């Protein structure tokens, strides 16, 4: 479906996310011919800018704005669709009245109409206030068009605050106009998980407790917290990566087939999956979840100081930069299959992948020829990033006498499928919202269910009931995380 004329209002437009991701994504849409002819982007924030200042900051002087093959004229035409409205306090009714007046003026001058997307890219404490003010000004629903609200992460700080936030914004905007963004859902390879599973006849029959030994999901980063220490220390790896991004990836790996490939059906299955996660109670935390912080070391991104010495991080900080965990899904498909998830800063590689390890055949027929044949792992490795693609590992006979077995892999690279650049996550997601297509956004109930799973772990950590380990920057994390695999086979896959 095509995109209606509209105005995209970005709150927090002078911030980091707008510069790094949002404006470049809107430019991609412009270059691809996806934007409607009548379109305006209205940046709003506290900085005192003119339209020209704003264009300069987010387009002409923005180091993240890549012109690629676009001409200077294209860039100029694009920049003329950008406008700016300063807001003294965000919650002041006056501000939103001024914003409402500006929207009417934009329509009068440019005929951009009365459809609106409001993008919240501000500090989270404004996530309730702004929708409230928009509702008061009548911008939450319009008789002459549509209004949609995009909410950035973090969506809540724990279960209680997420429930409250949902309640607040749902009292101002209808649920089907609320778009909770999780940029991992915008990644092609995360969407491709659904196609791999449900468009092929041979994976799905194996995708269950009868054939799967374990499932592991890794999101490793080489960078430390850099200059984001202030934000990160309030968050930590669990809130920053696991509660949102990695549980979303898990849902795509483990959910039941939806009855249709539409938003309600897919979102219903995800909710069911989150509800079937076996709770990790406070007393299970020490056996199933490992938290750790990096100490000084060397990574591919260079030398790093200890997390506690990073800018903006208190020297006594107990915030985790690594999480490794093991858990179960209590449903028919997955009963008894262990799931492992880990993520960390300052690990040896930047890599996100899912590994499905299949059970061994019932007999080790060739073991007298080779010890290796006993441990020949049948694994499906789904590389979310980089080198997007998939590899299937299995045993083959080594040419020559006897029956020696060797692991080989069939490797597919996603980039071979298209000549075009794979669209960036934010580009895809923004376009979906413009079209009114919510499938790749998180629904309120499933965000709450994901929090319900994570919350007891955070509570146990806060109560200091389990140790905080450390790992040297540049290593694969604390040794204690290897112990999670005891009795469960293959162990973490640590590619080099
Ligand atoms: C963000 C986190 O949501 O995701 C960052 O706040 C993290 O800490 C980033 O680095 C990872 O995203 P990607 O797309 O680079 O894997």
Q: pLDDT band at 423, cuts 50/70/90?
A: confident
Closest CA to 300 of 241, 350, 225: 350
What is the pLDDT averaged over residues 390-410?
A: 90
* Mean of the per-residue pLDDT values of the chain: 94
Residue 327 near residue 342, CB atoms below 8 Å:
no
* Ligand 1 centroid – CA 385 distance (Å): 12
pLDDT band at 187 (very low <50, low <70, confident <90, very high): very high
pLDDT of res. 13: 95
> How confident is the model at residue 362, as a pLDDT?
86
Nearest CA to ligand 1 atom 10: 221
Question: What pLDDT was estimated at residue 374?
Answer: 52
Angle at 358 between CA 353 and CA 362, to 5 degrees: 165
User: Does the C-beta of 221 come closer than 6 Å to ligand 1?
Assistant: yes
Burial of 105 (0-12, 13-18, 19+ CB in 10 A): exposed
pLDDT, tens digit, for every residue of 57-94? 999 999 999 888 889 999 999 999 999 999 976 656 78
Nearest CA to ligand 1 atom 15: 221
Q: Is 64 a catalytic residue?
A: no
- Give 240 Cα–ligand 1 centroid separation in angstroms: 8
Residue 375 binned pLDDT confidence (cut-offs 50, 70, 90): low
Query: What integer is the mean pLDDT of 274-284?
Result: 96
pLDDT for the residue numbered 372 = 55
As a whole number, mean pLDDT of residues 278-297 equals 96
Tokens 């298209």: give the residue. Answer: 418
The one catalytic residue in 6, 183, 245, 252 is 245
Residues 111-124 have pLDDT tens digits of 999 999 999 999 99
pLDDT > 90: what percent of the chain?
Answer: 83
pLDDT one-digit tens code per residue, 462-484 = 999 899 999 999 999 999 999 99
68 C-alpha to center of ligand 1: Å? 24
Torsion of CA 161, 163, 168, 170, to 10 degrees: 150
Instruction: Find the mean pLDDT for residues 155-159.
Output: 96
Residues 6+ away with beta carbon under 8 Å from 478? 290, 292, 322, 324, 469, 470, 471
């Amino acid at each position: 479906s095509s995109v209606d004329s509209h105005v995209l209002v970005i709150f927090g437009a002078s911030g980091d996310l707008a510069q790094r991701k949002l404006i470049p994504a809107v430019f991609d849409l412009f270059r691809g011919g996806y934007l409607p002819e009548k379109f305006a982007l209205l940046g709003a924030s506290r900085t005192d800018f003119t339209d020209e200042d704003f264009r300069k900051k987010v387009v002409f002087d923005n180091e993240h704005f890549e012109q690629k093959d676009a001409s200077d004229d294209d860039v100029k035409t694009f920049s003329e669709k950008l406008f700016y409205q300063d807001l003294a306090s965000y919650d002041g009714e006056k501000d939103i009245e001024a914003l409402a007046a500006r929207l009417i003026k934009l329509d009068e001058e440019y005929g951009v109409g009365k459809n609106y997307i409001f993008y919240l890219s501000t500090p989270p404490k404004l996530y309730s206030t702004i929708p409230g003010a928009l509702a008061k000004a009548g911008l939450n629903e319009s008789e002459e068009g549509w209004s949609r609200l995009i909410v950035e992460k973090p969506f809540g700080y724990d279960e209680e605050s997420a429930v409250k936030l949902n309640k607040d914004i749902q009292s101002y905007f209808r649920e089907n106009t609320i778009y909770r963004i999780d940029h991992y859902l915008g990644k092609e390879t995360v969407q491709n998980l659904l196609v791999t599973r449900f468009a092929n006849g041979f994976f799905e029959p194996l995708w269950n407790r009868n054939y799967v030994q374990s499932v592991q999901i890794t999101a490793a980063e080489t960078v430390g917290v850099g200059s984001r220490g202030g934000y990160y220390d309030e968050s930590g790896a669990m809130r920053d990566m696991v509660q949102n991004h990695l549980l979303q990836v898990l849902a795509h790996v483990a959910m039941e087939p939806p009855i249709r490939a539409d938003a309600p059906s897919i979102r219903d299955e995800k909710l069911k999956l989150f509800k079937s996660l076996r709770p990790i109670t406070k007393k299970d935390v020490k056996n199933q979840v490992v938290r750790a912080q990096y100490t000084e070391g060397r990574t591919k991104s260079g030398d790093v100081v200890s997390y506690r010495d990073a800018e903006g991080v208190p020297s006594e900080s107990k915030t985790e930069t690594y999480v490794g965990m093991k858990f179960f899904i209590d449903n028919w498909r997955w009963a008894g299959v262990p799931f492992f998830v880990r993520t960390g800063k300052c690990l040896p590689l930047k890599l996100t992948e899912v590994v499905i390890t299949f059970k061994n055949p019932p007999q080790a027929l060739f073991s007298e020829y080779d010890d290796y044949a006993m441990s020949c792992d049948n694994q499906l490795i789904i590389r979310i990033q980089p080198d997007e693609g998939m590899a299937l590992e299995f045993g083959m006979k080594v040419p020559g006498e006897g029956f020696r077995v060797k692991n080989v892999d069939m490797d597919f690279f996603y980039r071979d499928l298209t000549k075009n650049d794979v669209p960036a996550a934010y580009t895809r997601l923004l376009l979906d919202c413009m079209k009114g297509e919510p499938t790749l956004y998180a629904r309120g109930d499933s965000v709450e269910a994901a929090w319900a799973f994570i919350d007891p772990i955070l509570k146990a950590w806060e109560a200091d009931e389990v140790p905080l380990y450390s790992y040297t920057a540049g290593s694969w994390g604390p040794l204690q995380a290897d112990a999670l695999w005891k009795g469960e086979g293959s162990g973490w896959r640590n590619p080099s």
